[in-house]
Amino acid sequence: MTATTPAPAVAPTRPRPNWVAVAVRRGAAVWVIVAALVLVLSVLRGGSFWSTGNLAALLTSAVVLGLVSLGQHTVILSGGIDLSVGAMVTITTLLTAVLIDGYPIRTAPVLIGMLVLGALIGALNGVLITLLGMPPFIVTLGMLYLVNGAALWISSTPAGRVTSILSEFAFGRIGPIPYTFLVLVLAVVAMWFLLNRTVWGKQVFAVGGDLHSARAAGIDTTRVLLGVYIASGLLAAIAGILLASRSSVGSPTAGAGLELSAITVVVIGGTSLLGGRGTLLGTMGGVALLSLITNSITLLQFPSTITDLIRGIIIIAAVAIFVAKRR
Amino acid sequence: MTNTAFRRARSRRILAAAVGFATLVAVAGCSAEQEGAGSGGGGGTGAAEDCINAEEAQATYEESWSSVAEAFGLSELTPVEEEVCEVDPETWAAEPKQGDAYRIAFAAQGPTNSWGVLSEEAFNYHAEELGVDVLYAAANGDATQQVDNIQQLASQDPDAMVVVPMGEGIAGQVQAAVSQGIPVVLCSGILPESSQAVSTVTRQYDLLGTAYAEWIAQELGGEGQVAILSGLAGVPTAEYQKAAAEATFEKYPDIEVVTTQYTEWSPTVAKTVAQNLIASYPDLDAIWSDSGYGAIGVVQAYQEAGLPVPPITGDAVNDFLLATQGTDVRYALSTFPPEMSSTCLDTAMDLLNGEPVLNKVYIDSPSFTNEEGEQYVREDCDGGLLVPTSAPEDLLVELGMCQA
User: With bands split at pLDDT 50, 70 and 90, how would you rate the model's confidence at B28?
Assistant: very low
- Cβ–Cβ gap A158/B26 under 8 Å: no
User: With bands split at pLDDT 50, 70 and 90, how would you rate the model's confidence at B164?
Assistant: very high
Min Cα separation B195/chain A (Å): 9
> What residue of A is the nearest CA neighbor of B35?
A102
Number of Cα atoms under 13 Å in the Cβ half of residue B365: 28
Contact indicator for B303, B309 with CB cutoff of 8 Å: yes
- Cβ–Cβ gap B194/A103 under 8 Å: no
- Cβ–Cβ gap A108/B149 under 8 Å: no
Task: Evaluate if residue B1 carries a pLDDT over 50.
Answer: no
- Cβ–Cβ gap A301/B135 under 8 Å: yes
Does the residue A74 lie in any domain?
yes
pTM (two decimals):
0.81
Nearest to A251 among B32, B138, B168 (CB): B168
- Cβ–Cβ gap A298/B137 under 8 Å: yes
Does the residue A9 lie in any domain?
no
CA B74, CA B66: separation in Å to the nearest integer?
9
Q: Minimum mean pLDDT among A265-279, A294-308, B111-125: which range?
A: A294-308
Percent of chain B with pLDDT over 70: 89
Query: How does DSSP assign B254-308, residue by residue?
Result: TEEEEEEEE-TT-HHHHHHHHHHHHHH-TT--EEEES-HHHHHHHHHHHHHTT-P
CA B122 to chain centre: 18
Q: State the average pLDDT over residues B79-83.
A: 85
Residue A156 sits at the chain B interface (C-beta within 8 Å): yes
- For B91, other C-beta atoms within 10 Å of its C-beta total 12
- Cβ–Cβ gap A304/B171 under 8 Å: no
- In B, which residues are within 8 Å of A254 by CB distance? 143-144, 167, 169
**Is omega for the bond preceding B388 within 30 degrees of 0, making it cis?**
yes
Going along chain B from its start, the domains and CATH numbers come out as: 85-203+338-365 (3.40.50.2300), 206-334 (3.40.50.2300)
Choose from A180, A298, A301, A309 for mutation: most chain B CBs within 10 A.
A298
Q: State residue B340's pLDDT score.
A: 94
Residue A260 sits at the chain B interface (C-beta within 8 Å): no
Q: State residue A10's pLDDT score.
A: 57
Q: State the average pLDDT over residues A127-136.
A: 93
Task: Evaluate if residue A327 carries a pLDDT over 80.
Answer: no
Q: How far apart are the first and last CA of chain B?
A: 92
Nearest to B169 among A61, A112, A251 (CB): A251
> What residue of A is the nearest CA neighbor of B190?
A158
- Taking only the tens place, the pLDDT of each residue in B280-337 is 999 999 999 999 989 999 999 999 999 999 999 999 999 999 999 989 999 999 988 9
CA B177, CA B52: separation in Å to the nearest integer?
24
Task: Evaluate if residue B3 carries a pLDDT over 80.
Answer: no
Percent of chain A with pLDDT over 90: 63
Q: Minimum mean pLDDT among B76-85, B145-154, B202-211, B222-231: which range?
A: B76-85
- Apex B92 CA angle, B88 and B93, nearest 5: 100
Mean of all residue pLDDT scores within chain B? 86
Q: Minimum mean pLDDT among A30-39, A305-314, B28-37, B200-209: which range?
A: B28-37
Q: State residue B46's pLDDT score.
A: 37
Which of A120-124, A266-270, B30-34 has the highest average model confidence (pLDDT)?
Answer: A120-124
Min Cα separation B129/chain A (Å): 19
Task: Using alpha carbons, select from B268, B325, B258 the residue that is nearest to residue B297.
Answer: B268
Does the residue A20 lie in any domain?
no
- For B12, other C-beta atoms within 10 Å of its C-beta total 10
Does the residue A18 lie in any domain?
no
Task: Using alpha carbons, select from A155, A325, A244 the residue that is nearest to residue B169.
Answer: A244
Which residues sit opposite B136 in a β-bridge?
B106
Does the residue A8 lie in any domain?
no
Q: Residue A121 is which amino acid?
A: I
Question: DSSP code of A220?
Answer: -
- Taking only the tens place, the pLDDT of each residue in A221-267 is 999 999 999 999 999 999 999 999 988 888 888 888 899 889 989 98
Instruction: Count up the domains in chain A and report the number.
Output: 1
> What residue of B is the nearest CA neighbor of A176?
B155
Task: Using alpha carbons, select from A120, A27, A53 the residue that is nearest to residue A299.
Answer: A53
More confident residue, B228 or A13: B228
Q: What are phi and psi of A228, to 5 degrees?
A: -65, -45
> What residue of B is the nearest CA neighbor of A99?
B34
> What residue of A is the nearest CA neighbor of B135?
A301
Question: DSSP code of A254?
Answer: T
- For B342, other C-beta atoms within 10 Å of its C-beta total 24
- Taking only the tens place, the pLDDT of each residue in B249-284 is 999 999 999 999 999 888 899 999 999 999 999 999
- In B, which residues are within 8 Å of A261 by CB distance? none
Task: Using CB atoms within 10 Å of the CB of residue B115, give its burial: 0 to 12 exposed, 13 to 18 middle, 19+ buried.
Answer: buried
Q: State residue B186's pLDDT score.
A: 96
| DSSP H or E run through A275 | none
Q: State the average pLDDT over residues B3-32.
A: 55
- Cβ–Cβ gap B32/A105 under 8 Å: yes
- Apex B351 CA angle, B347 and B353, nearest 5: 110
Q: State residue A3's pLDDT score.
A: 47
CA B294 to chain centre: 17
Task: Evaluate if residue A150 carries a pLDDT over 80.
Answer: yes
- In B, which residues are within 8 Å of A151 by CB distance? 234
Mean of all residue pLDDT scores within chain A? 88
Contact indicator for A55, A176 with CB cutoff of 8 Å: yes
Nearest to B156 among A48, A256, A258 (CB): A48
Q: State residue A6's pLDDT score.
A: 55
User: With bands split at pLDDT 50, 70 and 90, how would you rate the model's confidence at B19?
Assistant: low
Min Cα separation B330/chain A (Å): 31
Q: State residue B324's pLDDT score.
A: 93
Contact indicator for B217, B249 with CB cutoff of 8 Å: yes
Stretch 7-46 of chain A: residues touching chain B, C-beta under 8 Å: none
CA A138, CA B101: separation in Å to the nearest integer?
55
Min Cα separation B213/chain A (Å): 20
Host domain of residue A148 = 28-39+46-326
Does the residue A290 lie in any domain?
yes
Does the residue A282 lie in any domain?
yes
Residue A167 sits at the chain B interface (C-beta within 8 Å): yes
More confident residue, A318 or A65: A65
More confident residue, A177 or B20: A177
Residue A109 sits at the chain B interface (C-beta within 8 Å): yes
Nearest to A257 among B32, B136, B142 (CB): B142
Q: State residue A26's pLDDT score.
A: 75
Which residues sit opposite B261 in a β-bridge?
B229
Which of A95-109, A244-258, A291-305 has the highest average model confidence (pLDDT)?
Answer: A95-109
Q: State residue A14's pLDDT score.
A: 65
Choose from A247, A292, A301 for mutation: most chain B CBs within 10 A.
A247
Which of A121-130, B10-19, B163-172, B259-268 has the highest average model confidence (pLDDT)?
Answer: A121-130
Task: Evaluate if residue B13 carries a pLDDT over 90.
Answer: no
- Taking only the tens place, the pLDDT of each residue in B341-363 is 999 999 999 999 999 899 999 98
- Cβ–Cβ gap B172/A163 under 8 Å: no
- For B63, other C-beta atoms within 10 Å of its C-beta total 13
User: With bands split at pLDDT 50, 70 and 90, how would you rate the model's confidence at B48?
Assistant: very low
Contact indicator for B367, B65 with CB cutoff of 8 Å: no
Q: State residue B134's pLDDT score.
A: 95
Does the residue A3 lie in any domain?
no
Task: Evaluate if residue B25 carries a pLDDT over 50.
Answer: no
Task: Evaluate if residue A147 carries a pLDDT over 60.
Answer: yes
Q: What is the largest CA-CA distance in chain B?
A: 94
Q: How far is CA A232 from CA A37, A177, A222, B296, in A?
A: 30, 25, 15, 43
Read off the CATH number of the domain in which A234 is found. Answer: 1.10.3470
Task: Evaluate if residue B185 carries a pLDDT over 60.
Answer: yes
Residue A172 sits at the chain B interface (C-beta within 8 Å): no
Residue A261 sits at the chain B interface (C-beta within 8 Å): no
- Taking only the tens place, the pLDDT of each residue in A7-52 is 555 556 666 667 777 777 777 888 988 999 999 999 998 788 999 9
